[in-house]
Amino acid sequence: MSITRQKGIDQDPAKKGALQRLADDPVSRRKFVAVTGSGSALTLFLAACGGDDDESTNTSGESTTSTTEETSTAADTSGTEMFGKGDLGIVNYALTLEYLEAAFYVDVAKSGLFKGAELTLLKQFGANEEAHVGALEQTANSLGKAAPQPKTEFPLDDAKSVAMLAATVENVGAAAYLGQAALIESEEVLAAALSIHTVEARHAAVLNMLVGDPITPDGAFAVPMSAEEVLPAVSDFIVS
């Protein structure tokens, strides 16, 4: 498994190309997954999260070979077992994504690339993500143990590409929640996940408008993403 692509996000032209393509065509999120592969620090991070060793190894192995076909026909497993069993795994998976989103908006706010109404909006979205982090941490701790916060790094070159990345992150986030909804066992956890899912959807639609993409890029029915699709897509932003 490749761990060679974890350095210098901004210096990697191939990756920028992939992000660009993704931003240009949000429907091609799955292609993005295939392009970026699943190497990088996330695999190490997940391994370090502990949990059941067998499951960790197994899931990481699967994700290295993930393709659109295989993952979209994945069976009834949540693909989040490396974060814990059952609902705990799903909550910690969501928590990891929310950590990432919250950290992203903090970096964006600090970057100085945005001012005025746009900055206010991005800060508000970031505050929403922080609220999600808080709630999910609490839930995870009540079910077991909350996943650790990953160390993240994002390419923050210019306002346009950052806005596109924000849109991508939110669209993927919404798709990730949708991908888990039917796998959640607890009614309470499900209710919480649903109430976060539609907030991610609101964020995604607004950011899509800002970058000139359709508010519903998949049409009238949103397309879910499995954990096997989502984790490789975000792995480039996790450095350890």
CB 114 within 8 A of CB 159: yes
- Identify the sign of the CA torsion 80, 86, 92, 98: positive
- Cα–Cα separations (whole angstroms), residue 124 to 83, 132, 224: 28, 13, 25
As a whole number of angstroms, the distance between CA 56 and CA 79 comes to 10
Q: How many CB atoms lie within 10 A of CB 107?
A: 17
Least distance to another protein from the beta carbon of 215, Å? 4
* Nearest CB to another protein, comparing residues 3 and 191: 191
* Nearest CB to another protein, comparing residues 15 and 202: 202
Binding site for another protein (CB under 8 A): 121, 123-128, 130-132, 135, 174, 178, 181-183, 187, 190-192, 194-206, 209, 214-216, 219-224
* Nearest CB to another protein, comparing residues 46 and 174: 174
Least distance to another protein from the beta carbon of 48, Å? 28
Least distance to another protein from the beta carbon of 131, Å? 4
Q: What is the 3-state secondary structure (H, E, C) of 152-175?
A: ECCCCCCHHHHHHHHHHHHHHHHH
Least distance to another protein from the beta carbon of 15, Å? 27
* Nearest CB to another protein, comparing residues 14 and 182: 182
